[in-house]
């Protein structure tokens, strides 16, 4: 049994299972922390939301809501997965670059490692696709 588990070459079903776990963990945690915050506190956040691309605080918040509130759920379910992961990646990348200024250590970078993990997860999902345990795969059949 352990030989199968530690083989050098991963079987396709294990890769698909790993992609499912990655989609569920990254998408659900992003939605639960940041998506629900933007969905339920939109009006309170609109007045003071960062405006890193100078398009206005409300359009910036709407894009962040699209990313964290909608696209994170699309990633979880595996629907339009690559586009959703790309939108999340862009949103988090812009926030890390322009709002957090690539902070990783110290008080300003308190969440730098989490940002990098979200970026890596979304990039991996974008590159690999959702796997066979997704709505995208069911629609392709």
Query: What pLDDT does 27 receive?
Result: 98
The 3-state DSSP class for residue 40 equals helix
Q: Please give the model's pTM, rounded to 2 decimal places.
A: 0.89
- Helix (H) / strand (E) containing 140: helix 135-140
Distance between CA atoms of 77 and 23, rounded to whole angstroms?
8
Per-residue pLDDT of the chain (141 residues; tens, 9 = 90+): 566 666 667 677 899 999 999 999 999 999 999 999 999 999 999 989 999 999 999 999 999 999 999 999 999 999 999 999 999 999 999 999 998 888 887 676 567 889 999 999 999 999 999 999 999 999 998
CB 23 within 8 A of CB 118: no
Task: Please tell me the predicted confidence (pLDDT) of residue 1.
Answer: 58
């Amino acid at each position: 049994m352990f030989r199968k588990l530690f083989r050098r070459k991963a079987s396709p079903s294990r890769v698909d299972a790993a992609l499912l776990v990655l989609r569920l963990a990254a998408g659900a945690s992003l939605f639960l922390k940041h998506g629900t915050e933007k969905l339920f506190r939109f009006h309170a956040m609109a007045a003071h939301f960062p405006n890193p691309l100078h398009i206005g605080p409300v359009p910036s918040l709407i894009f962040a809501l699209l990313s964290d509130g909608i696209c994170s759920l699309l990633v979880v379910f595996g629907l339009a997965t690559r586009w959703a992961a790309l939108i999340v990646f862009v949103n988090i990348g812009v926030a890390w670059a322009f709002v957090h200024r690539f902070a990783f250590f110290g008080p300003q970078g308190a969440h730098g490692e989490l940002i990098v993990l979200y970026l890596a997860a979304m990039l991996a999902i974008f590159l690999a696709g959702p796997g066979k345990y997704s709505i995208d795969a069911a629609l392709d059949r």
